[in-house]
Each structure stands twice: as C-alpha cells, then as structure tokens.
Structure 1
Amino acid sequence: MIKNLFERSRSHWVRYNRYELKTGKNGRRYITPGKDAKPDVYNPLNMVPDIVLDALNVGMLMMGRKPAAEVERAVLKFVTQYGLLGLMTALPTTPSFMDYKAVYLPKNHFIKEESMSTDRYLALFYPFDQLELVKQGIESSWKVSGDRTMIALTMTFMDEPMAKTMSFQRQYAEPYDWVAQQFKDWAFTLTTSILYYQDYHLIDQDTRELYQKAMAVFGGIAPSYHIELLDKPTIYWDFHSLLLGIQMMFSFMLVDNEQPLRVCKHCQKVFLGKPDNMDFCSARCKEQSDICKNRKERD
C-alpha cells in the first residue's frame, strides 16, 4: 500500500555529506552541518520504507536503553543519510510563520510556550551563526551569504516557505536531545501498537485504555498537498519538514496489513513482517533464538 500511495508523488529535502555535534553557549548540544560540508537535494519518498525503518530503529536503541555513545552514532548516521528533521518548520502551526508577526505553536514535547516572537524562535535553531535577517511586522527578508552553493540552494527552493529554505543553510542546527527524543517517540508509538494487539487478552481494560490514549496523541500538523498536471496527474506532497514526511509514511505503514511493522523477538530490530515470518527479522535471528531456547530448556 505504501509504495502505491507515493508512486505518483514527489517531494524534496536537503542533506549534507557531513554533520557534527557542537555545544552552544547554553551548554546544549546541537547537530549542524560540518564545516565545508556539501549539500545534496534528494527525494525522501524514494527512500520508503528504509527511511522509516531506520528512524524507528534509532528510537529502539533508546527504548532498549543502549549506551549513549551507541545512540549518538546512530542518530548522526541517520542524519548524514537523510538530513536533519526540519524541526523549525515542523513545530509551528504553519511552515510559513515568517509571514506572521509571531510564531504559534501547538502542544509539543520541546517548547511549552504557545507563541513567541519570531526572533526568539529562530534563535533556537541558529545558536552559533545568525542569518542576516530583517523582519518588520509581517515583512521579512534575509541575505544569503556569498557562498555560491548556498545561493544555488536558495534559488532551488525559492517557491517554498522562507523558513524551509532557511533551514537548509549551513548555519542551521537542531538540538541533539530534541532529535533523539523524536526518534524515541516514534519507537514508542510502534511498540504501543504492537503490545496492544499482542497482549490484548492478557491486559485489563484500564491498561487497554492507557494504550489507546498513548496512540491517540500520535500525530501532529498534517502535510498539505497539491496536484500538478505533468505527463500524468501527480500528487506533490508539501511536507516542509522531513519530520512530517517520515511521520506520514510511518502512519500508513503502521496500518498496512500486507506488510505490517514488526519488532524482531531476538534482536529487537524493526522490520516489515511477512505472512511466513512475523517474529524474526532474519533467518539468523530465528536460528539464534532457537539456540537460546534449547539452551534454557537443557538448563
């Protein structure tokens, strides 16, 4: 189902070939493109289902309380492969917040305030080098650096919301703990869904309702779309953030009965289940599980 849904779709995002962790003056760690890192424009929809599985498996490391260093490597590996999540445009009520006097925020895990000035909001994502931005009321303008690569990148996305284009600049950064938390949230959603049905007859009504409430809060601002008349009618998903793109893909995969998302009973890796294999991600994991089971029985 997931492949058919995005077969006639296209959307684009930017990833750099190198990211690094830097500590800001506030002591918080951020993920930001490395010095002289090169950007690449790609279509995340071509990465389905791998991009969703990779995101979930980063979160599963935290659910399994793996060492912080292992989680950090996995987060940076994901970001290098797919880019930052685009939290700056994902959190507000609209990615076009530069067209308003302030930024308005629905409930989220990262910012408690319901609104804040645009300058304060932007500072959350530019902790090291500020963009040359001028904002007066609803009027905004910003000057791209003399870097030809940044100029070309800006021209590529000139029809997109200003904030999205700004988030592709080298100065942009995302708090590491926010990015990691998002991966963990996705993994938590998956395990909640699996446990609800797997243990349905073993849990009481109160626990079932708790699972249902946990699932009910999953979601956020839905991406918009429009249709373009190319060689054939084509849906263009306006994600404006990688986070919302992954969340939407994940949502459809979560309700897909043909290839349901599963967690390997041996290694805890997330994989796409098949009718003949719903418990293990590989023959090796099944073999290892059988060995462990036989060893326990002998003991």
Structure 2
Amino acid sequence: MKNLFAHTSAPWIRYSGYEYKTADDGTLYITVSEGAEPEMYRPMQEAEQLITDAVNVGLAAMHKASEEELKESVLDFVKKYGFLGFMTALPTTADFITYESVYLPKNHFIKEESLPTEKYLSYFYPFDKLDFRKKSVESGWSVTDREGIAITMAMGNAPQAVAMELQKEYAERYDWILKEFTDLAFTFMTSFLYYLDYDTIDEQTRSLYRQGISAFGGISPTYRIALEKDSPVIVWDFHSLLVMVQMCFSFMLTDKDSDMRMCKHCKKAFVASRKGNEFCSQRCKNQFNVYKSREKKKGNKRDD
C-alpha cells in the first residue's frame, strides 16, 4: 500500500481546536473553535494509525459505547486529523461549484439526487456563512482573513470547494462522521469474522457475510500521470480526507501483506508489529491470559 500511494497531492488542514455546537434544528455539529490555528499536514504519512483510529471509533459504536464516550471519541479523531471533508466527497465531482447544481450519487446522508448549490452548502455552513455568490455556472467567493487566504493559496490547483471546506466556518455533522466510522468497522468486523469462523459456519451464513460486506463501497479518487526523474508515476488527488480513508482502508483490508488485526482481548483494531501478533499490547495479552487462567480454574472446580 505504501508503494501504491507513494505519490499523492493530498495535504490536509487540521485546526488546533474543535468543539460541538448545536444548530437551530437540533442537529449536532463539530465546528472549529474560536481562535484555533490551522496546520497543514500530509495524512498519508499517518495512514495506518488514522485508519485504525477511525475503525476503532466505529467498533466502539458497534459495541454499544455510551453516547458521551462516542462523542468524545469522534471529537478526538477530528482534533487529531481534521474534518473528513464530506462536502467534496459526496458529489459526483469535487468541482461541483462549476456546475448549475450539485449532483449526488446514492449515499447514506443526503437523499436528493441533485440540489441547488446554496442549499447543498447549507449542510456544511449552518452557523457562519462564506461570502459565496453564484449565478448559473458562474460563482465567486471571497476570503479576507490571513489564515483563510493562506489555506486557499496552499491548496494550489485543487477544486475551489476544497479550499472552501478547509475554512474555519466549515462544520460537519457528528452523526455523519459516526455513521461513516461505523460502516468501516462493520466491514472490518465482517471480514475478520468470515475467515475466523469459516470452518464452523454453513454456506448460508457465509453468503450473509458476503452480502453484508458487498454493501461497502468507497469513493474513487482522481489521479494523474506525472513524469518523475526515472519513470512516470501515478499521482493520487485526494480531494477529501474521507476519500483517502476509504481507499486506504480498502487496500489495508484486502492486502495479504497487511498486518491489520483485531485484538483478541479488547477487540480493537491494530496494526501488528510482527506476523502472528494477536494482541494490541502486552497489557492486553497479560489480561487475556489471566482471564483464561481464571476460567480454567473455575472449570476444574466444577469438575471436582
């Protein structure tokens, strides 16, 4: 996977602070905290940990963690990596600003197949609005603060909407982020259990597993060819963190050389440091052995 994505034009922005804020209709959003500073980083350099963190938030939801725990976990993820960038991930193209309307393939979040641009933007700017103007296919927006200008310039030739969703006015819904992570976790869990239980389940159950995992479908990134010193290379253009997460997760899950595992004790996802590791830490291994020993002693007492 590292070789496949060795060349990316995928810088992303994370801010120094995020917080929850409730819109007038009761929807819970995550927003950039007042006074927070932006920082540019390259998510691909942290891809394995990023994917593992996302899956573990979803696993916590599947294991019925409390709402407060889930809210804390989602916010911690955003603080660590920034927003997912739903605004450019959901439409058929990240260049949706240049079209009369926003066209959407089937997704879990917005039912309409097309929306006026202003209505679509309202999903992501529920509090502070951008200075955005649109008439037919013509549009324009202005940014006046120093940090916003710097972000826009740093995005270079990326679609206009990418720079827009990295501004401090942008917000994302908590339930959307949690849903995305839960889908990742469900896919990971299905794959793990399918092979773990393969010899003990019947064909009908196997078929249900296969049907379940087939529901997962990622969004394909765009790419281009660049001429490097020695040979042409593929340069991936990830116009949202979400697209990068989905693509990297898919390759980690299907790569035979990937060391992504589920801890035998705490049931969290982790990347094994060496082949055969069944536990995410020595602590989990020790606790598992202690519990196993206790169960064995209880069994011996019952036999007596």
For the residues of structure 2 that align with 1:88 and 1:203, how far apart are their CA atoms?
41
Change (3 A) 1:261 1:155: same
AA matched with 1:88 = M
Whole-angstrom CA distance in 2 between matches of 1:74 and 1:248: 22
Residue 69 of structure 2 aligns with which residue? 70
Contact 2:9 2:238 in 1 (8 A): no
Flag the 1:231–1:40 CA change in 2: closer, same or farther, 3 A: farther
TM-score, normalised to structure 2, is 0.93
Q: Distance in 1 between matches of 2:168 and 2:207?
A: 45
Once the 2 structures are TM-superposed, how far is the Cα of residue 172 of structure 1 from its aligned partner?
Answer: 0.4
Residue aligning to 1:153: 151
The equivalent residue for 1:275 is: 275
Equivalents in 1 of 2:173, 2:82: separation in Å? 14
Kindly indicate whether residue 208 of structure 2 is the aligned counterpart of residue 227 of structure 1.
Answer: no
Show the counterpart of 1:87. 86
More moved, 91-100 vs 211-220: 211-220
Decide whether the 8 Å contact of 2:28 with 2:174 is kept in 1. Answer: yes
Deviation at 1:230, TM superposition (A): 4.6
Contact 1:254–1:260 at 8 Å: present in 2 too?
A: no
Contact 1:130–1:171 under 8 Å retained in 2: yes
Paired amino acid for 1:275: K
Whole-angstrom distance in 1 between the partners of 2:165 and 2:223:
20
Residue 231 of structure 1 and its aligned partner are, at CA, apart by 4.6
Instruction: Measure how far apart 1:133 and its partner are.
Output: 1.0
Which shifted more, 265-274 or 89-98?
265-274
CA contact (8 A) 1:9 1:234 kept: no
Identity of aligned residues (%): 49
Structure 1 segments of 4+ aligned residues over 4 angstroms from their partners = 230-234
Tell which structure's C-alpha radius of gyration is larger: 2
1:204 Cα deviation after fit: 2.4
State the TM-score, normalizing by the size of structure 1. Answer: 0.94
| Alignment RMSD (CA, Å) | 1.5
Aligned to 1:238: 237
Which residues of 2 match residues 119-268 of structure 1 at below 5 A? 119-144=118-143, 146-231=144-229, 233-268=232-267
CA displacement at 1:221 relative to structure 2: 2.4
Q: Secondary structure at the match of 1:170?
A: coil
Distance 2:234 2:35 in 1: 35
In 2, Cα distance between equivalents of 1:125 and 1:179: 13
What is the DSSP-based 3-state SS (H/G/I as helix, E as strand, rest coil) of the residue aligned with 2:24? Answer: coil
* Residue identity opposite 1:122 in structure 2: L
Alignment gaps of 5+ in structure 1: none
Q: Comparing 67-76 with 237-246, which one deviates more in the overlay?
A: 67-76
The one-letter code sitting in structure 2 at the alignment partner of 1:95 is A
Ranges in structure 2 where 5+ consecutive residues have no aligned partner: 299-304
Aligned with 2:179: secondary structure? helix
1:37 is paired with a residue whose SS is coil
Aligned residues, how many?
296
Q: CA deviation at 1:227?
A: 2.6
- 8 Å CA contact retained: 2:58, 2:184: yes
Of 258-267 and 177-186, more deviation after overlay is shown by 258-267
